Amino acid sequence: MERGEEKMSNIIETPEQAKQDATYYQALRELLLQLADDDLLISFRGSEWLGLAPHIEEDVAYSSITQNTMGHAVMYYNLLEELGEGRADILAHDRQPDERRNGCYLEKRNGEGMYLEEPYYDWALAVVRNYFYETCKKIKLEAIANSSYQPLAHVARKVLMEHPYHLAHWKLWMKQLQSSTDEAKKRMQTRIDEAWVEFADVLELGNLATDMRKHRLVTISEEEIKDKWLDEVKTILVDLPEGPVGKKYGSGRNGEHTDDLKQALDILAEVYNSDKAAAW
């Protein structure tokens, strides 16, 4: 306990300092990959909606949120680059599915069909997914705004200033569609029930969760993140699904993923793969 307490007061200001403790470094690296990959995948799926949102103002709003979220991913990849984990571009484009740390639910296809062919995407999925994710993101950001790793704490504080607009946007859609027509209600409930059995790994921190907490990379535990998230979504969901939140496809935090991730990465990196040495 004494050792733990001593660690609590330690502030790590530079990549060099972070590397002095191997456990600290591993936990930090893992956390940054999770944060970066989550934002990357949800914004990739968001980018596929460009031009397809239900109305023109929504198209402007959703693409703005998506672009900004991609910017958040870039900041985390940059922190990894500063740690010597390789160039941010390569980290985003050129890692195998089993090296990816995003929650499985975030890689899920937007619906049936393909962007360039017949995109029969489901708006209910977009709304539920983004609302669940942004709610979780807020809780996590607050838990790293006082992170022992100063460069990460700074990024979290910045993202927290922009994030309220994102969350408010999806919360409004949730409220409106859940009190709309019978068809809307039914489609929303289907996607809520689906998310309920898939979302859990998004809320989790993976195998190194204990180290992350011990080194104060995050200031609350995984259990607290889940409890806070549940308290929040309970205020919005009209019909709360029964049972605990599950992770049907395993844990993306440990590199377990669905085929949808491969499909996403193939498209995401198509241009990059066509000429890896090009400067964009």
Partner 1 sequence: MKEITRQEEIFNVLKTVDDPELPSVSVYDLGMVHDVRIDGNSVEIKMVPTFAGCPALEFIEMNVKKAVEELAWVRACQVKFTMEIQWSTDAITDKGKEELKKHGIAPPPENFRPGDEWTVNCPYCNSDYTSMENIFGPTACRSILYCMACRNPFEAMKPVVQPLNTNY
Q: Which of residues 253-272 bind partner 1 (CB under 8 A)?
A: none
Binding partner 1 (rule: CB under 8 A), the pick from 36, 44, 49, 69 is: 69
248 binds partner 1 (CB under 8 A): no
Amino acid at 184: A
With helix as H, strand as E and coil as C, how does 203-248 read?
HCCCCCHHHHHHCCCCCCCHHHHHHHHHHHHHCCCCCCCCCCCCCC
17 binds partner 1 (CB under 8 A): no
- DSSP-assigned letters across all residues of 53-76: SSSHHHHHHHHHHHHHHHHHHHHH
Which is nearest to 92 in space by CA: 249, 217, 264, 254? 264
CB of 198 to partner 1, least distance (A): 27
CA distances from 137 to 4, 21, 31, 114, 203 (A): 27, 27, 13, 28, 9
Would you call 30 helix, strand, or coil by DSSP?
helix
For the stretch 226-233, contacts whose Cβ atoms lie closer than 8 Å and that sit 24 or more positions apart, written own/partner, are: 226/200, 228/139, 229/135, 229/136, 229/139, 229/203, 232/135, 232/139, 233/131, 233/132, 233/135
Q: Which of residues 116-155 bind partner 1 (CB under 8 A)?
A: 142, 145-146, 151, 153-155
CB of 31 to partner 1, least distance (A): 17
279 binds partner 1 (CB under 8 A): no
Specify the residue for token string 């409890």. 227
Would you call 112 helix, strand, or coil by DSSP?
strand
57 binds partner 1 (CB under 8 A): yes
CA distances from 3 to 9, 21, 98 (A): 11, 14, 34
If the CB atoms of residues 172 and 238 are measured against partner 1, the closer one turns out to be: 172
**Sole window of 57-65, 83-91, 121-129, 205-213 interacting with partner 1 (rule: CB under 8 A):** 57-65
If the CB atoms of residues 162 and 239 are measured against partner 1, the closer one turns out to be: 162
Q: Which of residues 165-184 bind partner 1 (CB under 8 A)?
A: 165, 168-169
228 binds partner 1 (CB under 8 A): no
Size of the site for partner 1 (CB under 8 A): 30
Binding partner 1 (rule: CB under 8 A), the pick from 18, 35, 65, 205 is: 65
Q: How far apart are CA 228 and CA 145, in angstroms?
A: 16
If the CB atoms of residues 167 and 237 are measured against partner 1, the closer one turns out to be: 167
47 binds partner 1 (CB under 8 A): no
70 binds partner 1 (CB under 8 A): yes
220 binds partner 1 (CB under 8 A): no
Residues that bind partner 1 (CB under 8 A): 57, 60-61, 64-65, 67-72, 74-75, 142, 145-146, 151, 153-155, 157-162, 164-165, 168-169
